[in-house]
Amino acid sequence: MTAFNDLLVFLDSILGSSPWFPYVLLGTGVFFTLYLKFPQIRYFKHAWKVVTGKYDKKGAEGDTNHFQALATALSGTVGTGNIGGVALALSIGGPAALFWMWMTAFFGMTTKFVEVTMSHKYRVKTEDGTMSGGPMYYMDRRLNMKWLAVLFAVATVISSFGTGSLPQINNIAVSMHDSFGIDHMVTGGVLAILLALVILGGIKRIAYITSRVVPAMSILYIIGALGVIFYNIENLVPSFVSVFAEAFTGSAATGGFVGAAFAYAFTKGVNRGLFSNEAGQGSAPIAHAAAKADNPVSEGMVSILEPFIDTIIICTLTGMVILSSGAWHQKYENVFQRSDMEILKGTYSQQNEQDFAEISSYLNGQPSKVEDFDGEIIVREGIAVTGDFTILNSRSFAENVVFLLPGDHVYNGKLKVIGGQLKNDEIIVRGDSLIHSAALTTKAFTQGYFGEYGKYIVTIGLLLFAFSTAIAWSYYGDRAMTYLLGAKSVMPYRVIYVAGFFWASYADTSLIWTLAAVAIVVMTLPNLFGILLLRKEMKETVGDYWVKFNKENDTK
């Protein structure tokens, strides 16, 4: 698994975490925002009217109404990205990362408007009478780029696991274990059965369930978040100030947090923003393609609301909970996952200014003298007694480290380390360090009016958020399989999807997040390329919509 994770980290370094990707993603949103004259602002009020059904027409083809399509798409975006993804971004990039999540959402509102409109315009009716749409259809039917459509559809299937199935259940299982002590495999097994029962019903059952779950889970989560924010109200303004003040400089060191250079804050903020709201990824258009609408632009209007609800509202609440509580720079006892842990050559101290600066440079990818440790560590009663080394975990100095065997039995003997990685897979390493992902959000939610009960709000919210995301992404994947291999391929895909869902419940958290990061970019790039080619048609389609809309309303 370590070797596989290293491969994924490498792929992520040249894709989503590369210097160029955030500029491509944000640049596309900025371009369309200027090209279409800020539709996310001008059409915002109109979008709310459309989603309420004010302009619905009888007889419009489709499988769901506007609200159900929005709820399904939101269930695909409002998931672990809002709970674990925000926490991961802040743990790596600090407060500044939240600013870039906001920017991704603001310009992403326009990107989503474009991709949904074009996908709805070129949707098709399948043999069973249901609608099937998404970027692969406009790539094929309009751009005549079958190869690009196939590439996108394949990437969608991969991403349905990397975005929708694997990280969702992984975070649910971790949270259920931390809150209730439920074994990861038990959580995975029960939810895998429920997932199978839901997705067998197709889009109508999916839309029915998500249209009820999404509002309920959002209200619960918002109440819990406000309980923490108001409890730490004196830290709210400073938290907002830090987000803006450090946006272009990087986040300063504080507590156990060693600081993050601008590149880290920018890249992780944009990357996590994309994982959260999926603007530009091309996933939401698949759900919106099923909506009943006589004009594709009206459904595009509805999609403008997604990044706003997902990132501007829910992710901001999560971010303020984590920042105002101070949990993001505090160290907690936790089990070190191999992919989070590094063993370095030499003894470094967080209290030594020169050592701290050296480690900070190393973690931020800047020139450094830091080297990986190679050799043996002698352990007695769980404590290292020899070895000139330093352990980092979750980008922080690890403290009070103990080495254990399964069953919490202390370890005695020698441990082999190669390239900074512990080679004894059975050894459990526990200590104090920063934490990230859902564990960080869970800890932050306990520092409010609800006290320790706050973690149950996160657990229940994560359960509903993540499970609904997995449901929505199963639909995205089966539409992609329908395009690639026909309806006969859907059932085998669903079986594999559910099996992967179960497996991820007990797999390595960081490995899952890295896989998701790679899958997202592989899906996003073809879609961004496609909508840029359709920029002129998009502008003409929007213009025709308003001419028709104004004519119909003038005659009423």
Question: Among 59, 35, 71, 15, which residue's Cα sits nearest to residue 464?
Answer: 71
d(CA 158, CA 133): 18
pLDDT given at position 297: 93
Is the separation of the CB atoms in 65 and 292 below 8 Å?
yes
Look at residues 269, 280, 260, 249 and name the one whose alpha carbon lies nearest to residue 100. Answer: 269
Domain ranges of the chain: 16-330+444-554, 334-433
Integer Cα distance of 555 and 178 in angstroms: 61
Q: What is d(CA 542, CA 5) in angstroms, rounded to the nearest whole number?
A: 44
Q: Which two tokens stand for residue 92?
A: 């790596």
Give 228-246 pLDDT, tens digit per residue: 999 999 999 999 999 999 9
The pTM assigned to this predicted structure is 0.84
Q: Which of 60-74, 88-102, 103-117 has the lowest mean pLDDT?
A: 60-74
Residue 116 and residue 299 in contact, taking contact as beta carbons nearer than 8 Å:
yes
Instruction: Give 384-410 pLDDT, tens digit per residue.
Output: 998 789 999 999 999 999 999 998 899
Whether 48 contacts 67, CB under 8 Å = no
Residue 527 tokens read as 């879609």
pLDDT score of 412:
95
The answer to whether the CB of 119 falls within 8 A of the CB of 127 is: no
Q: Please give the C-alpha separations between residue 501 and each of 11, 169, 183, in angstroms, as whole numbers.
A: 23, 6, 15
Give the up-direction half-sphere exposure of residue 53: CA atoms within 13 A in the CB hemisphere: 8
Supply 310's token pair.
């997902």
Which among 56, 51, 64, 67 has a CA at the least distance from the CA of 552? 56
Q: One-letter amino acid identity for 64?
A: T
Q: Sign of the C-alpha dihedral, residues 56, 62, 67, 69?
A: negative
Class (C level, CATH) for 16-330+444-554: mainly alpha
Q: What is the percentage of the chain residues whose pLDDT exceeds 90?
A: 49
Element (H, E) at 242: helix 236-245
Each residue's pLDDT tens digit, 412-447: 999 999 999 998 889 999 999 999 888 899 899 999
What are the pLDDT digits (tens) for 37-46?
Answer: 999 999 999 9
Strand partners, 375: 417
Give the phi and the psi of residue 366 in degrees, each rounded to 5: -100, 165
Q: How far apart are CA 398 and CA 405, in angstroms?
A: 19
Angle between helices 454-485 and 146-159 (to 10 degrees): 150
Q: How far is CA 402 from the centre of its chain?
A: 32
Most confident of 93-97, 153-157, 225-229, 505-509: 225-229
Residues with Cβ within 8 Å of 10's Cβ and at least 6 positions away in sequence, in order, are: none
Q: What is the mean pLDDT of residues 194-209?
A: 81
What is the pLDDT confidence band of residue 80, given thresholds at 50, 70 and 90? low
